[in-house]
Amino acid sequence: MAAAIALSAGTPAMGAEAQRESAGTLADGTRIEAVTLTSKAGVSARILSYGATLQSLIGPDRSGKLADVLLGYDDLAGYVDRPNYFGPTIGRYANRIAKARFTLDGKTYNLPANDHGQSLHGGDKGFDKVAWRVVSATSGPIAKLVLAYRSADGEAGYPGNLDVTVTYAMDDAGGLTITFEAQTDKPTVVNMTNHAIFNLAGEGAPQGALQHRLTIPATAYTPVDTTLIPTGELKQVAGTVFDFRAGRTVADGIRDGRDPQIVAGRGYDHNFALDKGLTATPQLAARLEDPASGRVLDVMTTEPGVQFYTGNFLDGTLMGKSGHLYRMGDGIALEPQKFPDAPNQPAFVSARIDPGKPYRHVMVYKLTVAR
């Protein structure tokens, strides 16, 4: 594993900045804002209030050249008209729920089926497709943006009025912490994450992201059926192309058709059961390294799982930033979360929350440069 140093080495702490501006309006006249958080380390993040979306994450390579490492769109219209989970906040439930339904306290709740009979990422109008309210945007030693949204009882089929906040916080070393918090007035299920898709060489780089080196500290993952729903098994990664414990190049296993799980996912699209489990503070979920640029991304989380996805459904028909056509393997998503379909699988860590017992997930994207 390449050694990494914080981008702020040798740079005095001077505080991070938050800059707020208009990003346009929706068809109904709702004003959407963009807030850019910038650290003195040279890392900046731009967030849209539409979908609480991380639109860009910009950082230097080993020669100091800046690049945006997130797939996405240049303007608001792209996220509204061609949604494809490029960096938004996902909820109420990230990942898949089997047959678009679950049972809680003896009552069955039916959800929008938007993925081959399953409910994916909160349905056809999840948290990624609504306007969030900007509560505050502040500069300081840590620059912060706080966004809020109320998901009404019954929205997308889920029970309970859910009051949600997402806080983006940029420290002066270039670490971006994202905190998801939610409170409910009825028992419900919640599983929130960010769905950024990364290419550390720079979005649109012609070589794609498959030569990145990935480390995931997990001895097991959750295999899936042909509809990408977990079978309930925790399968050991040892001896398989899912063993990323010591780090390996993503391309090494992504086309190995001898593994039926690679066939089912059209590549990697699987949840890893992190050895650390559910933790009070964020711990390492994944490290992604681009040997060519020297950029290193550490993903940390309090949650017990991380979904690794290699952009398998990008087929060259979506035009993203700077006119780039995105193809399979052009980006990698690492989504910290509860396990997929946990509401239907009692053996998995529960996604239930109750009145007076709020939900909280803290995750970190830390972008650095290898020596």
Condensed to tens digits (0 to 9), the pLDDT of residues 213-243 reads: 999 999 999 999 999 999 999 999 999 999 9
Share of the chain above pLDDT 90, in %: 94
Any idea which architecture 4-370 has in CATH? Distorted Sandwich (2.70)
**Whether the predicted pLDDT of 14 surpasses 80:** no
Residue 219: predicted pLDDT:
98
Residue 2: predicted pLDDT:
38
Kind of pairing between the strands at 89-90 and 17-25: unpaired
Identify whether 116 is a catalytic site residue: no
Condensed to tens digits (0 to 9), the pLDDT of residues 147-202 reads: 999 999 999 999 999 999 999 999 989 999 999 999 999 999 999 999 999 999 99
The stretch 314-320 carries a mean pLDDT of: 94
Q: Where residue 11 falls among pLDDT bands split at 50, 70, 90?
A: very low
Altogether, the residues listed in the chain come to a count of 371
Every domain of the chain and the residues it spans: 4-370
CA distances from residue 266 to 17, 222, 317 in whole angstroms, order as listed: 41, 16, 17
Residue 54: predicted pLDDT:
98
Identify whether 303 is a catalytic site residue: no
Of the residues 33, 121, 155, 195, only one is catalytic, namely 195
**Whether the predicted pLDDT of 6 surpasses 90:** no
Of the residues 33, 203, 289, 335, only one is catalytic, namely 335
Whole-angstrom distance, CA of residue 217 vs CA of residue 287: 9
Q: Where residue 13 falls among pLDDT bands split at 50, 70, 90?
A: very low
Residue pair 212/249 in contact (Cβ under 8 Å)? The answer is yes
Residue 371: predicted pLDDT:
72
Specify the pTM. Answer: 0.95
